[in-house]
Amino acid sequence: MAVLVLKVDIDTFRGMKEGVPRILEVLDKRSLPASFFVSFGPDRSGLAVLQLLRPRFMMKMFRTDAVSMYGLKTALYGTILPAPVIGAGFPDMVRSLNDLGHEVACHAWDHRVWQDWLFLMGQKSIHSWFEKMIDSYKSITGRKPAGFGAPGWRMDRRALKTAGEYGFDYLSCTRAREPFIFEENDLVEIPSNLPCIEEAGVNGVVKALESRAQSLVPQVLPVHTEVEGGFYCKSFEQILDKAQSSGYIVKRLVDVAFSIDKSSLLKRTLKQGLIPGRAFKCSM
Ligand SMILES: [Zn+2]
């Protein structure tokens, strides 16, 4: 029987406020645990408009109908509407995830800036981005985070080096096929290796789950609270029912990280690659 992890990313204010309660309801109905990767800082989704200068992004906007998926308000945050704060603005909600037995991990300070402009950020900005995220995590939960998953699966060597300075127990920053150890910082990487709804559609996700139901490699499904906790909530239920009927055992990412035999893992450097349904290259 294969292991399945639900890696639930909280990327936006709406995803926090409206998406998280709906996801929790769906999980609670099935008594399933999940790993919530929280963006703590400002929701500057509106900055995505700058991405219109990049043709691949425009193609993706049209293909996925991003405005109807994320909502017009979200599409304007950080531009003509002020940027609301995500995780740091909902401390009780973040703590309640923990109290319910889910994992709370670090996803971002400013998600949009990292996802779109990491390559333009200097070492100092990368460092202060991590500082703000981790301070926020600690002040809300009272402990240090075990895991970090990079926004948009964007990482580079400098970011890996910085992540290595914060004592994380594991990373989940890539779309590789199976876990490995980063040569850059000696940390174990447990990748999101299943496609998400935005990339493969609901049927594509279900098919991937079916085909890997006997896999010995832990399967990590990327979930986004504004998507599966919004328009695609029913589809998310369908996906979870499929996973359960296929015999998957659902675990939190931190538990997989602590139980994995690190001596059996390949050690290698970060790679980049395009995966189907994504506008930009992801870390691999
Ligand atoms: Zn994200």
- How far is the centre of ligand 1, averaged over its atoms, from the C-alpha of 248 (Å)? 24
List, in order, residues 6 or more apart from 25 with CB less than 8 Å away: none
State which amino acid sits at residue 48. Answer: A
Q: How far is ligand 1, taken at its centre, from the CA of residue 111, in Å? A: 7
**What is the per-residue pLDDT across 48-76, written as a single tens digit (0 to 9) for each?**
656 566 566 666 655 555 655 666 667 66
Q: Which residues have a Cβ under 8 Å from the Cβ of 6 and sit 6 or more positions away? A: 27, 32, 33, 34, 35, 221, 223, 240, 250
37 C-alpha to ligand 1 centroid (Å): 8
Report CA 35 to chain centroid distance, whole Å: 9
Q: What average pLDDT score do residues 261-276 get?
A: 96
Ligand 1 centroid – CA 151 distance (Å): 4
pLDDT at residue 1, rounded to an integer? 84
Q: Determine the Cα–Cα distance for residues 191 and 194; give it in Å rounded to an integer.
A: 9
Per-residue pLDDT, 39: 98
Tens digits of per-residue pLDDT, 208-224? 999 999 999 999 999 99
What is the structure's pLDDT at 280? 85
For residue 39, CA distances in Å to 110, 159, 181, 229, 243 come to 7, 17, 24, 16, 27
CATH of 3-44+82-283, one of 2.40.30.170, 3.40.50.300, 3.20.20.370, 2.30.290.10: 3.20.20.370
Q: Are 94 and 140 contacting, i.e. CB atoms less than 8 angstroms apart? A: yes
224: CA distance to ligand 1 center in Å?
7
Residue 107 CA, ligand 1 centroid: distance in Å: 7
| Ligand 1 center–CA 222 separation, angstroms | 9
Q: How far is the CA of 75 from the centre of ligand 1 (A)?
A: 15
Helices vs. strands in the chain: H and E counts, helices first: 13, 12
Residues within 5 Å of ion ligand 1, judged at the Cβ atom: 9, 11, 151
Distance (Å, whole) CA 101 – CA 27 = 11
Ligand 1 mean position, distance from CA 261 (Å): 28
Contact status, residue 38 vs residue 250, Cβ threshold 8 Å: no
Give CA–CA dist 187/256, Å, rounded.
14
Q: Which of 196, 198, 224 is nearest to 208 (CA)?
A: 196
State how beta strands 272-273 and 180-182 pair. Answer: unpaired
Backbone angles phi, psi at 107, to 5 degrees: -115, -45
Contact between 27 and 251 under an 8 Å Cβ cutoff? The reply is no
Euclidean distance between CA atoms 194 and 66, whole angstroms: 21
Ligand 1 centroid–CA 6 distance in Å is 14
User: What is the 280 CA–ligand 1 centroid distance (Å)?
Assistant: 14
pLDDT, tens digit, 9 for 90 and up, residues 90-99:
999 999 999 9
β-partners of residue 181 are: 188, 267
pLDDT at 52: 60
Q: What is the pLDDT of residue 70?
A: 61
What are the tens digits of pLDDT across the range 12-28?
999 999 999 999 999 99
Determine the average pLDDT of the residues in 25-52.
88
Residue with token string 């200097």: 122
What confidence score (pLDDT) does residue 56 get? Answer: 63
Task: Determine the distance separating the centroid of ligand 1 and the alpha carbon of 272, expressed in angstroms.
Answer: 17
| Calculated CA dihedral for residues 139, 95, 108, 187, nearest 10 degrees | 90
Q: CA-to-CA distance for 43 and 145, rounded, in angstroms?
A: 21
The whole-chain average pLDDT of the chain stands at: 92
Q: How far is the CA of 9 from the centre of ligand 1 (A)?
A: 5
Over residues 148-182, the pLDDT tens digits come to 999 999 999 999 999 999 999 999 999 999 999 99
Query: What's the 152 CA to ligand 1 centre distance in angstroms?
Result: 5
User: If you measure from the C-alpha of residue 189 to the centroid of ligand 1, how many angstroms do you get, rounded to a whole number?
Assistant: 17
| Percent of the chain residues past pLDDT 90, beyond the cut | 82
First to last CA, the chain: 25
- Residue 192 or residue 83, greater confidence: 192
Residue 78's pLDDT is 64
- Judged by DSSP in three states, 158 sits in helix
